[in-house]
A and B are shown apart, each in its own frame.
Chain A
Amino acid sequence: MKLKVDYVTKLLLLLAVLTLSNFAYAQRTITGTVTDAESGEPLIGANILVVGTSTGTITDFDGKYSLNAPEGATTLEFSYTGYAAQRVEIGSQTTIDVALSAGEVLDEVVVVGYGSQKEKEITSSVTSVDAEDFNQGPITDPAQLLQGKVAGLQVYNRGGDPNNQSRTIRLRGISTVGANTEPLVVVDGIIGASLENVDPNDIESISVLKDGSAAAIYGSRGSSGVILVTTRSGSKGAAGVQFTYNGQLGASTAFNSVPVMSRDEFLATGGTDLGSDTDWTGEVTQTGLNNVHSLAAAGGFGNTNFRVSGNYRNVDGILKNSGFEQFNGRLNFSTKAFNDKLSVDFNSSFTNRTSEFGFREGLRYAVLYNPTAPVLGADAPFSFASEQYGGFFETLGLFDSFNPVSIINQNRNDGKRTEVTYGARLQYQLTDNLQITGRIGQQNTTIDNREYYPTTSLFRGNATSPTRKGRADFYNQNTSFRLYEAYGTYLNNFGGTDLTFTAGYSYQQNNFEDNYLQMGDFPDNSEDFSNILEASQDLQNAGFIQANSNASPDERIIAFFARANLTLGGGIFLNASVRQEGSSKLGEDNRWGLFPAFGVGVDLNNYLPLNNVDQLKVRLGYGVTGSLPAENGLSQPIRQIVNGDDGSVSTELTRAANPDLKWEEKAELNLGIEFAMDRFTATLDLYNRDISDFILERTVDVAVFGVDRRIENAGKLNTQGAELTLGYDVLRNNKVNWNTGLVLSTYKTVLDEYVIPEEVRASLGAPGQNGTNMIRVAEGEEVGQIWGPVFEGVDAEGAPTFVDVNGDGQVISAQDNALDDNADFEVLGNGIPDLEFGWTNQLSIGKWSVNAFFRGALGHSLVNTFRAFYEPVIATQSSYNFVNTELRIPELTSAQFSSLYVEKADFFKLDNLTISRSFTFGGSSGVRGMTLSLTGQNLFVITNYTGTDPEPALTDYGPVDNAGDIDFSTPDVLSPGIDRRYSYFASRTITFGVKLDF
């Protein structure tokens, strides 16, 4: 095929030379046909543009076009998605037929940070996903577009929470322990933008920089990988302004719930009969409707083009009273001046989102609430003063038990978020070889979250108290990010060697401030007293109002960077970069770090006589990046106020200083092989990643440091992994096209060094299982071990018995002994999957197309905590319901963590199935094209896991009990594999979509 390409190129050159006759015509009509160079089939809807003007047209069903070329037109450009564009001199021709070559991977340009590179010249692991390959359907978050599409990229939003509160995005596993584990998002050059603010319809392409050598140019913030989003811009010179409308209407239902006992089953176990028969899960879930509308207008005139889009989404979750409404607008504008020497790009986005976070506790307590309990107090079997509880029934005197219907109906948990982003880029061509670029960017976000629990809510509203009922919480946050960058790019060619040299300066400043207020004790339930706070009796009683405020220092990252790309003889590619980066978070002597990266790639196809091989590139990249936790003041001592009752004030240390704290460093070596042959493509990446001096707050000797907390460089992590991407065009002809792709990834993370030889962490929690740590972390061993005793059977008293793992004749299973030499504990599973895969199928038959995307993961386990607490029929808990999966052991009447509750969670699911049909209308009508689609998400899942969602739980947010709050801000990355009781149930969604081009 390589020979073929050369042949085509030569042919085209010849054609160009032959038609190089310069007659000028005032205006004339040019007609022709655009076909696929390989198959000869006509290309429908190909773009034809008179270069230097906005005049253009597209081909019809037969691939034919007709164009009125204006005066002075000399060249036509022919383009078609997925094909290499061609320019043809018009000369004297009136008929120009063009054959475009498909699958032109070789010259595709990929955005790589501070510039772009030809894909073939890239020496690091970069995956680019174009809009047509995105996941379809009601995507509420652009991260979902990439789910399963990029080998090594993990995107998990366990359950169907529309507000993504516990979503995890990771590239290549755990990149750090204490710092941000999520990849850096760069939207149109604005570092650290939020993915949630981008309408998926606005995205042109996404590049994912996976390895250290690629991400190094972004420095510490890119240490966990970089996701570069390029939004659509105005189509240059297209005829007039083009409009696109996208609309979706969908419905979600709970895909799965935790199986619990029915009224009869519950009573058979001796459960307390409260006279009713209530399906609590049914009571708190709903069919969540969602609708999405977006409208974009794109166009251009002369050297200027623009695109404006607006997007509205209204999404309801499957949990009643959860969902969001969001408006999002985006403007992209670019123009050129001074003979095209100066180019100016401006983009801006605005997002306004109102969320109903709702209460996941509604789902939690629906599982464990007595199935014979009535929803309303009036239906209680005994006289129950339900006015005090807003008319709802409550099982008083129980720990961790709240009427779930009351929780979701009486209380509010809402938030507003406004985000404004703008960025401007100026680029000036100083000479043919030298270009300078300046960029400023800013992002401001405000968050206003409010919770309200009326006096009649037992859940957090303290309705049982005679004196202090009701609670209102307020949280406000302002964050701003400023970016200034300037860099120069020098290009030259020295006898067969292409050089690109880029060097620049980057200044980033983050500022943050927030405040929180909680108070309560409201008069009654007649008003929403969160708006009449002065009515709070907490103002009269000391010690009940909770308030705190915080502001960050001017947190800065300042960096100088340089990068050189060399292409030798068209087949050998060298890249090197260096970044000197400073952060305000470290002590004075340790602020600056120097982070280098190198890469080399060879297109062996240029040098080896390989028949029928289109590409065989081998590349090797190595890069070092620094990384720091999000917190400020890492190296400084932190104190807190101690008040005396006589008005005296003093302080005590809460965290010791560490002026010696230094950059956490990640060094990554990546070997990649890219192969293309006819219809088959394959990319293999192998990597080794060493994270040294990772930073975390740890327990230190209180006797020495005066307090037992200090932030230290605490150890080393190693991750080794492999990623394979395969693509194959199964069918490619004029009627049917079917291409299929498979991405596979696997990795293993080992804790090479740690300040503690081994420890157990991640407690199961109350009731009764505090101090039950389920995860073991040990120096020199793999991360993610679920650790506990091995279930053997049930003794006469209904208590579990455990296997004598070490065969020493005694069974030691107390949690306190978990790490003892003679303890009978072992690894019960691993929270991190061995293999993750995504399988894409795109089938088009004429105007019909089918997109089926399957996804799965193998080898990971989950602790099913609902079972661990509520499956044993505990006599003393006869007023809670019991979980009733197929794994339940009826004789077991005592709850104690063991292998019994650790389940393999391998799964294979049809993640997304979209069937669509496109319609094309004549050029003269208002509507040019229309596509109708029907999408199903989560249509089936094959798994043996008995919980609601088998997807890996990569981080843990700790135990929460008795109406406590879930803290999503402190994920524990060393404790994967725990399916907590606050998981949002998974959902299935069916969506109808319309796309109109006019």
Chain B
Amino acid sequence: MMNKVFKYLILPCLALGLAACTDLEEDLVGDITRDISIEGIDVGGGGDASGELTAAYAELRNSGTANHSSYYSVQEVTTDEMVIAQKGGDWFDGGILIQLHRHTYTPTHDFVNNAWTGTYNAIATVNDKLGGGTLSPEENAQARALRAYFYWRLLDLYGRVKIVTQDSPDPPQASRQEVFNFVESELLGALGIPEVSASMDLSGSLLEDGGSAYIMNRYGALGILAKLYLNAEVYVGTAMYDKAEIAASFVIDSGVYQLCGEGCTVKNLGKRPKVESDPDELEGYAAVFAANNEGNPEHIFSVLYDEVSGTGMNFAMMNLHYGSQFTWNFDAQPWNGYATLEEFYNSYEDGDKRKENNFIVGPQLDFSGSAVLDFASDDDNIQLNYTPQINQLAPNSRREAGARPAKFSYKILGRAEMDNDFPIVRLGEMYLIRAEAIARQSGNWTDAEADLNVLRARAGVDEYNGNLTEEEFLAERGREMFQETSRRTDLIRFGKYNDPWWEKPASESFRNVFPIPQEQINAGTGLTQNPGY
């Protein structure tokens, strides 16, 4: 009846001469609603990411690898190598930064949620490509291995998560063992082997045998497997150090990668023309993390950062004091947030090249070599002067307190977005993994000395000589891997994560996995909380 009435009512519309009397089609001219995929230009060198996987690899940057409030923050600030102290009115942020450091984080913690959504967004993008049916078999293998890496993050952070794939959009929450199995089998699948063994043959793998560090190749996938096996005892209660050793050894022995040591140099992009003491070149360890570190022989699988086309690394902003803008003449003012704990800083001996590279301490000079002044200084000294000592975590940490992370070194005239590539798998860590795996299998930490001494030699410090202990191993690993989002995982594996340090009290072992974010549980698709939260 009503329809009939309306049929008559449409007459005046037609009388007005309107073509579109009841046309309600919506053509979204101002938005993109369909996928667009354009192949990149192959400029030689082989193995550049194809257009199909551009967005997938970009997710390594988008998932909080090197910026504030997501993956990097939860991996670093919860450990004894990094802190964000409350500086009076600044950096309190409702206490959530202190909570991270003191291990009182809760399911509603923003950063814990950001790390979750960042990682799942990355997985969704990869699934999108895997489900699109347009990938070549080689690209398909890369995508699966890349996705396995993101699931490794979830396994490490949260333990029990949903294993979403292109074929399974809404599976139930998996156990930590199931997630472990998935990561392992996907990586093995990409490598074309049934298991990691001394006799494995990777010739059947669809992944490339070396090439660009920006794409997932065989050694990248093996490196991630090595990390997985090294932590297997934590993840699933079964030690798999033998496999960790084999995987790491395979990468080292392949000869495809070299440690960046003496003679491995890059131009120092941080050199201020008028400051004589700034070196012209960066060599060895420093070169591995420099702003122009692309193509470094130690990089196996890296995140490509670029201040224009590959944004997502904000270390200069996060770490430095406002006044440090004038040291490098950045185009933006830093935020004065992250610093290193005094004890951690002091774990480096003087003369350790890594200490020199990894931190900024002391009185600061500006671009032209004059003192950087801080008119709001709270230490009676107007020159900006970073002290390793941090007077307190909260509420009134001094503004200039704390050695500032600088492993990924800063360049002059830099932007808020940085250029340094971030290694996810690098040869140096393979030595650390092999050394630890060997020692844990034998129960004798001095067995790890040979591999560690390779790294210590590069750092210019004395080699171990029958004096390596478990504690010293962890300290050495910390010195080498500082700022590479490894510390939380390492502390857990060494049983130290729950220990007290500085202003952090002892914490309970359930803290070794993060809570499932409340926002995700609220989304109502069947997630349950981790025990203890």
Contacts and interface: CB of A to CB of B under 8 A. Distances in A.
Contacts of A468: 331
Nearest to A644: B54
B41 A647 contact: yes
A577 B42 CA distance: 66
A585 B88 CA distance: 48
B268 interface: no
A513 B28 CA distance: 12
B329 interface: yes
Contacts of A532: none
A703 B87 contact: no
Given A551-B29, A558-B24, A642 B54 contact: yes
Contact of A466 (B51, B169, B413): B413
Contacts of A772: 92-94
Given A641-B36, A644-B54, A594 B89 contact: no
Q: How large is the interface on A (under 10, 10 to 19, 20 to 34, 35 or more residues)?
A: 35 or more
Interface string B218-229: 000000000000
A893 B396 contact: yes
Contact of B395 (A542, A646, A799, A813): A799
A816 B395 contact: no
A869 B88 CA distance: 10
Contacts of A503: 5, 9
A636 interface: yes
Nearest to A555: B26
B529 interface: no
A464 B98 CA distance: 32
A815 B92 CA distance: 10
A822 B245 CA distance: 47
Interface string B98-113: 1100001110111000
A606 interface: no
B343 to A, nearest CB: 23
A611 interface: no
Contacts of A636: 26, 28, 31, 33
A524 interface: no
A874 interface: yes
A378 interface: no
A769 B336 CA distance: 15
Given A399-B335, A507-B18, A703-B162, A644 B49 contact: yes
A438 B12 contact: yes
A772 B49 CA distance: 41
Nearest to B92: A768
Given A397-B323, A594-B2, A702-B121, A875 B307 contact: no
A769 B94 contact: yes
Contacts of B125: 652-653, 706
Interface stretch (B435-443, B481-489, B515-523): B515-523
A507 B9 CA distance: 12
B90 A651 contact: no
A663 interface: no
B14 to A, nearest CB: 9
B34 to A, nearest CB: 7
Contacts of B373: 396-397
Contacts of B38: 647-650
Nearest to B16: A484
A583 interface: yes
A570 to B, nearest CB: 29
Contact of A553 (B28, B52, B374): B28
A643 B399 contact: no
Given A551-B30, A646-B40, A702-B117, A876 B106 contact: no
Task: Give the one of B54, B56, B378 with max A CB within 10 A.
Answer: B54
Interface in A337-367: none
Contact of A397 (B9, B12, B307, B375): B375
B200 interface: no
A582 interface: yes
B31 A707 contact: no
A820 B106 contact: yes
Contacts of B306: 645
Given A397-B374, A816-B106, A505 B88 contact: no
Contacts of B378: 875-876, 878
B176 to A, nearest CB: 16
A768 B88 contact: yes
Interface in A876-895: 876-879, 893-895
A143 B361 CA distance: 59
A274 B309 CA distance: 43
Interface in A856-913: 869-870, 872, 874-879, 893-897
Interface centre among B16, B20, B89, B106 (most CB of A within 10 A): B89
A846 interface: no
Interface string B43-56: 10000111111111
Contacts of A556: 20, 23-24
A633 B33 contact: yes
A896 B395 CA distance: 10
Contacts of A504: 9, 12
Contacts of B384: 397
Nearest to B120: A702
A704 B413 CA distance: 43
A704 B169 contact: yes
B93 A770 contact: yes
Contacts of A591: 24
Interface string A673-703: 0000000000000000000000000011111
B95 interface: yes
Interface in A580-597: 580, 582-585, 591, 594
Given A553-B26, A558-B22, A815-B94, A639 B376 contact: no
A817 interface: yes
Contacts of A304: none
Contacts of A30: none
Contacts of B335: 399
Nearest to A879: B376
B1 to A, nearest CB: 11
Contact of B33 (A397, A639, A755, A878): A639
A521 to B, nearest CB: 9
A925 interface: no
B331 A767 contact: no
A14 interface: no
B29 A553 contact: yes
A584 B92 CA distance: 46
B108 A653 contact: no
Interface string B304-346: 1011111000000000011101100111110110000000000
A708 interface: yes
Given A274-B375, A706-B127, 18 more contacts: A399-B335, A505-B9, A505-B21, A543-B308, A550-B30, A553-B26, A580-B2, A580-B6, A651-B32, A651-B55, A652-B125, A706-B128, A708-B117, A769-B92, A816-B104, A876-B88, A893-B88, A896-B395
Interface of A: 272, 274, 395-399, 438, 462, 464-468, 484, 486-488, 503-505, 507, 513, 542-543, 549-556, 558, 560, 562, 578, 580, 582-585, 591, 594, 632-633, 636-653, 699-708, 755-757, 759-760, 763-764, 766-773, 797-799, 813-820, 869-870, 872, 874-879, 893-897, 962
What 9 A-B pairs are tightest by C-beta distance, nearest first? A815-B94, A648-B40, A543-B308, A876-B88, A646-B40, A648-B51, A486-B12, A644-B54, A879-B376
21 contacts: A466-B367, A484-B16, A486-B15, A556-B20, A558-B21, A580-B6, A636-B31, A647-B38, A650-B36, A650-B55, A653-B128, A703-B525, A757-B522, A759-B519, A759-B522, A763-B94, A764-B94, A771-B94, A797-B395, A814-B104, A874-B88
Interface of B: 2, 5-6, 9-10, 12-13, 15-16, 18, 20-43, 48-59, 86-96, 98-99, 104-106, 108-110, 116-117, 120-121, 123-125, 127-128, 161-162, 164, 169-170, 304, 306-310, 321-323, 325-326, 329-333, 335-336, 367, 372-376, 378, 384, 395-399, 413, 415, 417, 518-520, 522-525, 527
